Structure 1
Amino acid sequence: MLHNEACNAHEEIRRRRAKEVSFSDLALHEERQLYTLDKYFQDEEAEPSYQQAGKKITPKLLLEAIRTLPEEKGK
């Protein structure tokens, strides 16, 4: 039984090695395809905001709200 499991494991390793390619073996055009691009701040002109209770909250609105608080509560 263990002999069969060992044979299966070795066969699986051989199959993986046949499919896998080292990064150093890739052609330049293949290597350039292996990246991702995060798009978090693509529109840098846009002001970050979020929704709360159906209202859009922006940093400017938040700052204005803090400025209207009494001095002791603003700290």
Structure 2
Amino acid sequence: MGKEDDFGLWERELDHGPSDARGSGRGMLLVAALTAAGCAALISMGQAPLGAAGLVLSSVILLLWRAGM
């Protein structure tokens, strides 16, 4: 019972730093743009149901990615 807790060490282990947040934001933007362009291409080629399904599915995935799941 004589040991003290090292709360600072725990915080450093859990801290990912600001560089992770910036990198994932750029990657998320790139993935969103490419997915939207691909789904728009499918819709313009006459595959509207497939393009719409792709947009819905990619929106759900990007939402979960943004939430950190």
Superposition TM-score, scaled by structure 2 size: 0.32
Structure with larger RCO (C-alpha < 8 A, sep 6+): 2
Higher helix share: 2
Computing the radius of gyration from Cα coordinates, the structure with the larger value is 1
TM-score (norm 1): 0.30
> Between Structure 1 and Structure 2, which shows a larger proportion of strand residues?
1
